[in-house]
């Protein structure tokens, strides 16, 4: 059982986490939801299309202009409070590696801290434990925030992913984070080259087999672009193919830009796997 905010999800129930970037320079939407009005419209659309979680980020993952903790908080805290006011039942996640920001957004109503940089600030897990919110434990290969990988190497990338994420998850529980609210994430592209991310996807079942719910953040990433030789705006089909494979292998939470398309993929895979009945089943019966 996965529990996030007020909601519980059984083991075979896929969960969509919609990305809402509060940045002027995000790699995919180029700041489309930096201002409050379009960002709130994005939340409303994502919820209507089937997103259970809204993931709010105040700093883009890649290199760029420095964003202080104070500026990150300015971009996210008030917005978290407004989303909580307008959408009381939605699960609010905040993508941050800083404990100061984590504390502020928990005070504002966040349910989940998405630590995409793999515990680089160990106090973030302490914040999650103190507030009793969920935590995403990610493998980032030891990379510093907002850096790109350069000639990274692993003897066994999945072994390293398991070592790091399981260690982070166990520590989170020891600090008071509810066991049922901890997720592990292989960290596609973070501290990895394209071959590493492909192997992590291919071996995702090993993460699922640990019993911890698995989150994947695949949406329009560089490993998809390099695999197909496609620019950012032409990676949706590759992303959806990777989503289908990840779903078949048992991942549960999907951090995405395209909510409606992802919902269809996840529903189709769930029906093929026998976890979801067809929405309509008239063929050959009437």
Residue matched to tokens 């779903």: 247
Q: How far apart are CA 136 and CA 48, in angstroms?
A: 24
Predicted confidence at residue 286, as pLDDT, reads 81
Q: Is residue 280 part of a domain?
A: no
Predicted confidence at residue 38, as pLDDT, reads 94
Give yes or no for residue 66 having a pLDDT over 90. Answer: yes
Q: Is 221 a catalytic residue?
A: yes
In angstroms, the first-to-last Cα distance of the chain is: 38
Domain residue limits at 67: 2-273
Q: Are 99 and 115 in contact (CB under 8 A)?
A: no
Mean confidence (pLDDT) of the chain = 97
* Total domains in the fold of the chain: 1
Give residue-wise pLDDT tens across range 177-211. Answer: 999 999 999 999 999 999 999 999 999 999 999 99
Give residue-wise pLDDT tens across range 21-34. Answer: 999 988 788 789 99
Output the pTM of the full model: 0.96
Give residue-wise pLDDT tens across range 139-178. Answer: 999 999 999 999 999 999 999 999 999 999 999 999 999 9
Give residue-wise pLDDT tens across range 216-254. Answer: 999 999 999 999 999 999 999 999 999 999 999 999 999
Q: Is residue 117 part of a domain?
A: yes
**Cα dist from 77 to 41, 54, 84, whole Å:** 17, 14, 11
Q: Is 192 a catalytic residue?
A: no
Band (pLDDT 50/70/90 cuts) for residue 53 is very high
Predicted confidence at residue 40, as pLDDT, reads 97
Q: Is residue 78 part of a domain?
A: yes
- CATH assignment at residue 184: 3.20.20.20
Which of 255, 276, 282, 283 is an active site residue? 255
Q: Is residue 283 part of a domain?
A: no
Q: Is residue 110 part of a domain?
A: yes
Which of 221, 235, 263, 276 is an active site residue? 221
Stretch 35-41: mean pLDDT, rounded?
Answer: 95
Q: Is residue 97 part of a domain?
A: yes
The residue among 135, 130, 99, 84 whose CA lies nearest residue 114 is 135
The residue among 132, 246, 139 whose CA lies nearest residue 180 is 132
Q: Is residue 85 part of a domain?
A: yes
Q: Is residue 281 part of a domain?
A: no
């Amino acid at each position: 059982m996965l529990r996030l905010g007020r909601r519980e999800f059984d083991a075979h129930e896929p969960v969509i986490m919609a990305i809402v970037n509060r940045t002027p320079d995000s790699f995919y939407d180029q700041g489309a939801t930096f201002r409050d009005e379009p960002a709130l419209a994005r939340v409303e659309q994502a919820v209507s299309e089937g997103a259970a979680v809204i993931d709010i980020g105040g700093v883009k993952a890649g290199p760029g202009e420095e964003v202080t903790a104070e500026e990150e908080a300015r971009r996210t805290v008030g917005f978290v409070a407004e989303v909580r006011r307008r959408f009381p039942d939605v699960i609010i996640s905040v993508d941050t590696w800083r404990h100061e920001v984590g504390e502020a957004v928990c005070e504002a109503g966040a349910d989940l801290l998405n630590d995409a940089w793999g515990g680089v600030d160990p106090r973030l897990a302490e914040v999650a434990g103190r507030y009793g919110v969920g935590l995403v434990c990610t493998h980032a290969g030891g990379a510093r925030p907002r850096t790109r990988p350069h000639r990274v190497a692993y003897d066994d990338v999945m072994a390293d992913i398991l070592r790091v994420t399981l260690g982070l998850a166990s520590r989170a529980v020891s600090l008071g984070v509810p066991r049922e609210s901890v997720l592990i994430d292989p960290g596609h592209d973070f501290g990895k080259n394209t071959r590493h991310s492909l192997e992590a996807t291919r071996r995702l079942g090993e993460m699922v087999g640990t019993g911890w719910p698995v989150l994947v953040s695949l949406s329009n990433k560089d490993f998809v672009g390099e695999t197909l030789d496609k620019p950012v705006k032409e990676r949706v089909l590759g992303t959806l193919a990777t989503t289908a494979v990840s779903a078949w292998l048992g991942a549960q939470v999907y951090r995405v830009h395209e909510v409606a398309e992802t919902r269809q993929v996840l529903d189709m895979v769930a029906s093929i796997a026998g976890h979801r009945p067809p929405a309509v089943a008239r063929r050959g019966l009437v």
